[in-house]
Amino acid sequence: MAPSHLSVREMREDEKPLVLEMLKAGVKDTENRVALHALTRPPALLLLAAASSGLRFVLASFALALLLPVFLAVAAMKLGLRARWGSLPPPGGLGGPWVAVRGSGDVCGVLALAPGSGAGDGARVTRLSVSRWHRRRGVGRRLLAFAEARARAWAGGMGEPRPRLVVPVAVAAWGVAGLLEGCGYQAEGSWGCMGYTLVREFSKEL
């Protein structure tokens, strides 16, 4: 499907359930990889080993003492990712959320934006997800181009001298990182836990 066959418009209220399912599906596609990445870092392994050793004095089952900390850590991480990226944010200063729609009317992607936390921070992508059935067909690139246009217009209206767009990407989402780098974005920061990166931030001067 060529990008010219796509349009982007504001989400209608009746599309909200479909968009929420799309966001949740997008989180599920990456949460296992993020959890594996996080829990195989040396500090995490050390904490899990310490928790298992402590539980061996409480639980009669060695297997349960070994697996319970891992299960709880994975569950907590998944819940955190779903709460952060698996829901729709409230409408912000940049409007939206927006959906990518095929010519036939099928919703195939979702985008949400928000102003940065401070002056000069530009705009941030807070949600960007493409239906798994429409990936690698130009939907993500079309949504990204729309986000850049909105960020540029918003910056002009706010008197920002340098329009800028920031896109956070989970460390395991290599496809999204590759798309951003191909569109001129550069990795500029990250955040995570215990000194290990879980989310990288890409930015571009527009």
Q: Which residues of 124-151 are buried (b: 16+ CB within 10 A; e: fewer)?
A: bbbbbbbbeebeebbbbebbbebbbebb
More confident residue, 11 or 189: 11
Does the bond joining 97 to the residue before it have cis omega, within 30 degrees of 0? yes
- pLDDT of 111 reads 94
Q: What average pLDDT does the chain have? A: 84
Sheet holding 164-170, edge to edge: 6-10, 98-102, 107-115, 123-130, 164-170, 196-205, 186-193
pLDDT at 206 exceeding the cut of 80: yes
- The pLDDT confidence band at residue 146, using thresholds 50, 70 and 90, is very high
Q: Report pTM.
A: 0.80
18-22, 39-43, 168-172, range with greatest mean pLDDT: 18-22
- pLDDT of 42 reads 81
Q: How large is the average pLDDT for residues 110-116?
A: 90
Cα–Cα dist 39/18, whole Å? 32
